Chains A and B, each alone.
Chain A
Amino acid sequence: MNQQSATNPSGRIAAQNHFRTLRLGTPFQPRIDALARTRDWYNWAGYRAPHSLWDEELEYFAIRSQAALFDISPMTKYRIEGPDAEALLNRVTLHDVTKLKPGRVHYTAWCDDEGFVLDDGTLFRLSPTRFRLCSQERHLPWLLDSAVGFDVIVEEETEAVAGLALQGPTSFAVLRDAGFAGVERLKIFDLADFPHDGGTISISRTGFTGDLGYELFVPAGKALSLWDRLMTSGELRGIRAIGYTALNRARLEAGLIVANADFTTAEHAIRADRLRMPDEIGLGFMIDLEKGHFNGRRAILEARAKRKLRHVLVGLEIEGNIPAEHAIVYHKKAQEVGLVSAAMWSPMAKRNIAIASLARPYGDTMVEDLWVEIYAMRELQYQKLMKRAKVVARPFIKLDRRTANPPADF
């Protein structure tokens, strides 16, 4: 009350103007807007992000045969720093963080008390005492409450730090030609600092495509100069800005899952049976029961012991070439046992692939006689296709260039 009346009216009105921008722009927005011929936007965590910029097919092939530049600035980013940063993250996340060395990145996830997944994300260890946690959803209250009793600072840096994913076979050459000396030394999941425009950026050999690729984090003020530097050096290497549709295809080929697309995060789930434990979405490999306590440990142990895990997330290979997006999965063509959350015809794998959640034991111990029912719209009529589905390992494609050292110069 006091604060409100103390603020002068014009200042107050100015502070209320935020609502006039319905979707925020990222620091790269001037460049992206200039390239956005399709004007096909979507809402990514409150930011105006492109589904596609010019042609989603060609954008996808830019990832696989050239270099694709994707703006990841809207991704939620937290700085977690202090003497207890490692201990805090070890308690919050599933992986053993003591095994994550400075200059390394790992993919991880975190759970609530009941062992249900709150989100997945990537954890960057920038120094012995400094981390960056990147995720789909926002978690500041959870992280702050988790930090009780730890000597650590938790701060959201989503706005302050812009991010770019540079992915594709020529991505290494683009960076080298841009003058990032030493970038060839980065092995998969390595990260290092590089000078840029009088400041420092961090580059990691990571990505969401299963391809050779890098992610670059830059202070928001230096974002445009970084974009220009990459675009200039990449001109002859076929660098292209891309939107999410293309990236989403690449990630599916790589067998990677997306929070709130392939599973519902615990804080978003309204229905009790939508909650998922790590073991139910293929993230059980992250769980380290030997590392000491972590959030959800007790519940996960109990669920494993009492066989309370009801779901399983699997890769499917489906006969034919019609994508089975959101198709229902059947056992013996009759009993409903699950749902496809992502599907495509993979140009790289030359297979019809999908990610699906099934009710155990289907997909777990019972993998025979599974079918998907695809509704293919043919001139205002559904053609119902019952297609055989085979549980297969993820990733659906494995590209040697992703991990090759030194990275290939295409």
Chain B
Amino acid sequence: MTSFDAIVVGGGHNGLVAAATLAKAGRKVLLLEAGSKVGGAARTEEFAPGFRVSSVAHLLNRLHPDVVKTLELEKHGLRVARADFMPSVALSKDGAPLVLDGTYGEVLTGASSSEQCAWKELRAQLLRYAGILKPFLSRRPPDLAGMSLLEAASLGQTALALKKLGKEDMRDFLRVLLMNVADLLDEQLADIRLKGLLAFDATLGSHLGPRSPTSLLGLYYRLAGEAGGTAGAQVLPQGGMGAVVATIRASAEKAGVEIRTSAPVAKIIVEKGRAVGVALDNGEVLRANTIVSAINPATTFLDLVGPREIDTGFVRKVKNIRMKGDAAKLNLALDRSPQFTDVDAAGHKGRLVIAPSPDHVERAFNPSKYGEFSPEPVMEITLPSLADPSLAPAGACVLSAVVQYAPYALKEGWDAGKPKFLKAIMAQLESHAPGIGKSVVHTELLTPADIETRYRMPGGHWHHGELQADQMLVSRPVSGWSGYDTPLEGLFLAGAGSHPGGGVSGAPGLNAARRIIAIKG
């Protein structure tokens, strides 16, 4: 029998990153994926004959540069060029859209000159403040109980960066940190299209409306990410998100990781407080000194480890992680390219956002608090086949959209609600791209309930736990256990449920692997 130093449970992108990093450090690593393919929610899948799409995650805007470097992803085919940076287009029902070009609106087209000035200032401020948070949102969170010299030093560096801001800026940073995004936008901007887009971006993927306290943090989280070395940049990867994952997989295999798909883990075996191996659902037992769980933290502890092997207080904390997704994914196969009103060709290759105002986003959020979907949903739309024709048959087009708000626990149930929600989405699309409905060949709408089942993500939440102030940093996934270690010796967490959170960043996987290497030598 082959023996492994480490077994990684879960072949999502974080599992792959953790496995590859450990293998590069000389560990013998086995990666077990329950599904038939690796990649988790970051895959490219055929959803209609000849139509392929990034199944859930569709934009690359936060893949961590350390991941790219450590795993030499460029050597394995990852290409992110400045020319690929996508604009964001804030669609409007009554008039021309607003276009944010370059990296998150370096150039703003379609706004008044005073708004351009205001935006320039706000954009610079947002990026500056996101830059302060960036180290916090990428490194292992500080260990409050037993801080090492290195950790203290890196915290000190952040303090220094804060200081470098200057007194006024530092005060303002602290003032706005936990604000709601709508209030901040109202302070500085006037154009509701621009404010609508920013309000949407801040709340995308979380159970918050723009007026919910702390909603600004979501925008910082987004802007702390980067693509091609530029903060705030976004690209549509050629070949879909699956192509990005393929480069990580290639790096992992090159480093010697053995990957087994269709190998669902039924149990993490614990002996005397120590994780010593896993049992697959076919009964096969595999043992290793280090077990890395790159799946959901609640699934890890409540299902695979089981409450009997952990303390009651810890079970309490894990059960209390909020992770009910609020975002749906829409994949449309169209027989021709849609035409969004007043949007030029470059704009169609960008990210098209339907979020006409902060009020609109807030009103879309309101029903979700009571288990109802938005009657006028907000969404970000991409047409990936325009830049990558391989994704659709000739002349046809793929539309990929993330749509909010679609509460996981829909009161009427998703069986009844899904057709109605789809109708509401299509009505929104139709009003911005007249005739689109008639060009639909095939529709795939993934509600959080579908995402949960298909990608084994409890609550269908792509962050594996709400990304809000109380579930971030030292409180992620639960307070006291934010450093990737767990109460079980030999068991580590490496998924999006751990700090810093979700999105295709690879940061949790990389940090976890580095932690394992640091404490085990």
Query: Which residues of A come within 8 Å of B, CB atoms?
Result: 87, 91-92, 112-114, 142, 145-146, 148-150, 289, 292-293, 295-298, 301
Which B-chain residue is minimally distant from A141 (CB atoms)? Answer: B316
Which B-chain residue is minimally distant from A91 (CB atoms)? Answer: B308
B126 contacts the other chain (CB 8 A): no
B166 contacts the other chain (CB 8 A): no
> Do B312 and A293 touch (CB < 8 A)?
no
Q: B308 touches which one: A87, A142, A301 (CB < 8 A)?
A: A87
Which A-chain residue is minimally distant from B319 (CB atoms)? Answer: A148
Q: Chain A residues near B307 (CB, 8 Å)?
A: 91, 146, 148-150
Query: Taking the nearest CB of chain B, how far is it from the CB of A142, in angstroms?
Result: 6
> Do A296 and B273 touch (CB < 8 A)?
no
Which A-chain residue is minimally distant from B318 (CB atoms)? Answer: A148
A344 to B314, CA, bound (A): 42
Q: Chain B residues near A142 (CB, 8 Å)?
A: 312
Q: Chain B residues near A114 (CB, 8 Å)?
A: 313
> Do B315 and A148 touch (CB < 8 A)?
yes
> Do B309 and A113 touch (CB < 8 A)?
no
Q: Which 8 A-B pairs have the closest CB atoms?
A: A149-B307, A113-B313, A113-B311, A146-B312, A295-B311, A293-B309, A145-B316, A148-B307
A297 to B312, CA, bound (A): 11
Given known A-B contacts A148-B319, A149-B302, A293-B273, A113 and B312 have beta carbons under 8 A apart: yes
Q: Chain A residues near B319 (CB, 8 Å)?
A: 145, 148
Q: Chain B residues near A91 (CB, 8 Å)?
A: 307-308, 312
Which A-chain residue is minimally distant from B270 (CB atoms)? Answer: A293
Q: Chain A residues near B316 (CB, 8 Å)?
A: 145
B310 contacts the other chain (CB 8 A): yes
Q: Chain A residues near B272 (CB, 8 Å)?
A: 289, 292
> Do A293 and B310 touch (CB < 8 A)?
yes
> Do B315 and A145 touch (CB < 8 A)?
yes
A38 to B34, CA, bound (A): 72
B389 contacts the other chain (CB 8 A): no
Query: Taking the nearest CB of chain A, how far is it from the CB of B480, in angstroms?
Result: 8
A34 to B23, CA, bound (A): 79
15 contacts between A and B (CB under 8 A): A91-B308, A112-B312, A112-B313, A113-B314, A142-B312, A145-B316, A146-B307, A148-B307, A148-B319, A149-B306, A149-B308, A150-B307, A293-B310, A298-B487, A301-B273
A150 to B306, CA, bound (A): 10
CB neighbors of A among B314-333 (8 A): 314-316, 319
Query: Which residues of B come within 8 Å of A, CB atoms?
Result: 270, 272-273, 302, 306-316, 319, 487
Judged by DSSP, the binding face of B is: helix
Given known A-B contacts A148-B307, A149-B308, A297 and B273 have beta carbons under 8 A apart: yes
New A-B contacts (19) at CB < 8 Å, excluding given A293-B270, A295-B311: A91-B308, A112-B313, A113-B313, A113-B314, A146-B307, A148-B302, A148-B307, A148-B315, A149-B302, A149-B307, A150-B308, A292-B308, A293-B308, A295-B312, A296-B311, A297-B273, A297-B311, A298-B273, A301-B273
A235 to B316, CA, bound (A): 52
Which A-chain residue is minimally distant from B271 (CB atoms)? Answer: A292
Which B-chain residue is minimally distant from A296 (CB atoms)? Answer: B311
Q: Chain A residues near B487 (CB, 8 Å)?
A: 113, 298
A322 to B405, CA, bound (A): 74
A145 to B310, CA, bound (A): 12
Most buried by A among B302, B306, B309, B313: B313
> Do A298 and B312 touch (CB < 8 A)?
no
Query: Taking the nearest CB of chain B, how far is it from the CB of A377, in angstroms?
Result: 45
A354 to B270, CA, bound (A): 44
Most buried by A among B273, B312, B313: B312
Which A-chain residue is minimally distant from B315 (CB atoms)? Answer: A148
> Do A92 and B312 touch (CB < 8 A)?
yes
A87 to B308, CA, bound (A): 8
Query: Taking the nearest CB of chain A, how far is it from the CB of B320, in angstroms?
Result: 10
Q: Chain A residues near B310 (CB, 8 Å)?
A: 293
Which A-chain residue is minimally distant from B480 (CB atoms)? Answer: A113
Query: Taking the nearest CB of chain A, how far is it from the CB of B104, in angstroms?
Result: 43
Which B-chain residue is minimally distant from A92 (CB atoms)? Answer: B312
Query: Taking the nearest CB of chain B, how far is it from the CB of A109, in angstroms?
Result: 14
Which A-chain residue is minimally distant from B317 (CB atoms)? Answer: A113
Query: Taking the nearest CB of chain A, how far is it from the CB of B298, in angstroms?
Result: 12
A296 to B314, CA, bound (A): 11
Query: Taking the nearest CB of chain A, how far is it from the CB of B345, in angstroms?
Result: 55
Q: Chain B residues near A148 (CB, 8 Å)?
A: 302, 307, 315, 319
Query: Taking the nearest CB of chain A, how far is it from the CB of B489, in angstroms?
Result: 8
Q: Chain B residues near A87 (CB, 8 Å)?
A: 308
A114 to B302, CA, bound (A): 20
Query: Taking the nearest CB of chain A, how far is it from the CB of B270, in angstroms?
Result: 7
Query: Taking the nearest CB of chain A, how far is it from the CB of B488, in angstroms?
Result: 8
Which A-chain residue is minimally distant from B489 (CB atoms)? Answer: A298
A301 to B489, CA, bound (A): 12
Query: Taking the nearest CB of chain B, how far is it from the CB of A66, in angstroms?
Result: 44
Query: Taking the nearest CB of chain B, how far is it from the CB of A224, in angstroms?
Result: 38
Q: Chain A residues near B309 (CB, 8 Å)?
A: 293
Which B-chain residue is minimally distant from A110 (CB atoms)? Answer: B312
Q: Chain B residues near A146 (CB, 8 Å)?
A: 307, 312, 315
